[in-house]
Amino acid sequence: MAKCFSFTASRDWCYRYTFTAAGLQSTTTDLGDGTTLHCWAPRGPKPEKPALLLIHGFGANCMWQWSEQLRPLLACYNIYVPDLLFFGESVTTRPERSESFQAQCLMRLMESMGVRTMSLVGISYGGFVGYSMAVQFPEAVERVVLCCTGVCLKEKDLEEGLFPVRDLGEAAEILTPQTPEKLRALVKLSFYRPPRAVPSCFLSDFIDVMCTDHVEEKRELINSILKDRKHLELPKITQPTLIIWGEQDQIFPLELAHRLKRFVWNVWMDCQKICRHLEENAQMVVIKHAGHALNLEKSKEFCKHLKAFLIDSLHQDKSRKVE
């Protein structure tokens, strides 16, 4: 009997309605080198509002990861929500798979939309891309939020047992699930309280709709971020930075958050002649009873911290200008 209903496709349609109702439009930009990026962008950007770039991680597409955060942030920002390469409708024929290349493509996308400066939020793999944007384009990136992103990991962390997987191959299979069993494993690793007893038919439906395109390319992306990575060689960023982590994150354990906090704060100690503003420029928040998918599992608390760092800072900057 032919399959006549897809819960995943229906949910995807609902997300599209949410983004459209929020004043965003689906855009596709040809960057001219075999690379095409899809992005949800403002139908009519407000000149008085700054730009905010929301960068997703591994998963379905950008809509599934950022729908809960749209409304609270739209009041103060022009929001841009792209699909990274090999997710959603974004593709390239070029061979590059690094987060550095992803960051360059996003910057070209934003420039094509007339955006020259922005703040950004990157979650998980999106944090790798966002960090690279902050490194490569310091004059364009004003504030940075890094959520559950292991940019400070070392290749030997796998060997030393920091992660629940044994090697890159196992990590790639779980992050690009092709069977209900692998998807169950991913959900279990991603959530502090994973949903119980999800029928295999629902999992298979999600895989069919969201996980079968560009599987090899996505696994190459995973290999690229981990291969030969030495955190001590991590490039420095000096933008005001907020680090948000789920206390029970199993994909990028909390140790990586503390490692990143030490790195960022040491950079500020090196770069700032006056260090009394250190805590304003490098902050860290750990959300209790949350795993890797804290944007979904603790969406209200997650959004509260985003607003405190991003929106409150806008009001403070405006007050200083008035003074």
Answer whether 0.85 is exceeded by the pTM. yes
Q: Is residue 244 within 8 Å of residue 303, measured between CB atoms? A: no
The Cα-based distances of 177 to 100, 118, 199 in angstroms read 25, 33, 16
pLDDT for residue 228:
64
What's the rounded mean pLDDT across residues 130-149? 96
Q: What is the DSSP letter of 232?
A: G
Of residues 144 and 265, more confidence is placed in 144
Q: Percent of the chain having pLDDT more than 70? A: 89
Cα distance between residue 168 and residue 207, in whole Å: 21
pLDDT for residue 270:
54
Q: Look at the block and give the residue holding tokens 């103060």.
A: 76
Stretch (H or E) spanning 244: strand 241-246
Domain 7-317 class, CATH top level: alpha beta
Statement: residue 131 has pLDDT above 90: yes
Confidence of residue 159 (pLDDT cuts 50, 70, 90): confident
pLDDT for residue 266:
61
Residue-wise pLDDT tens digits, 200-235: 999 999 999 999 999 999 999 998 987 767 655 788
Confidence of residue 275 (pLDDT cuts 50, 70, 90): very low
Helices (H), strands (E): how many in the chain? 14, 9
How many residues make up the chain in this entry? 323
Statement: residue 46 has pLDDT above 50: yes
Beta bridge partners of 242: 145, 283
> Minimum mean pLDDT among 29-38, 204-213, 313-322: which range?
313-322
The domain limits of the chain are: 7-317
Q: Is residue 187 within 8 Å of residue 145, measured between CB atoms? A: no
pLDDT for residue 121:
98
pLDDT for residue 273:
43
What's the rounded mean pLDDT across residues 23-44? 96
Statement: residue 73 has pLDDT above 80: yes
Backbone φ, ψ for residue 38 (5° rounding): -100, 145
Largest distance between two CA atoms of the chain = 71
Cα distance between residue 293 and residue 148, in whole Å: 8
Confidence of residue 317 (pLDDT cuts 50, 70, 90): low
Cα distance between residue 160 and residue 277, in whole Å: 36
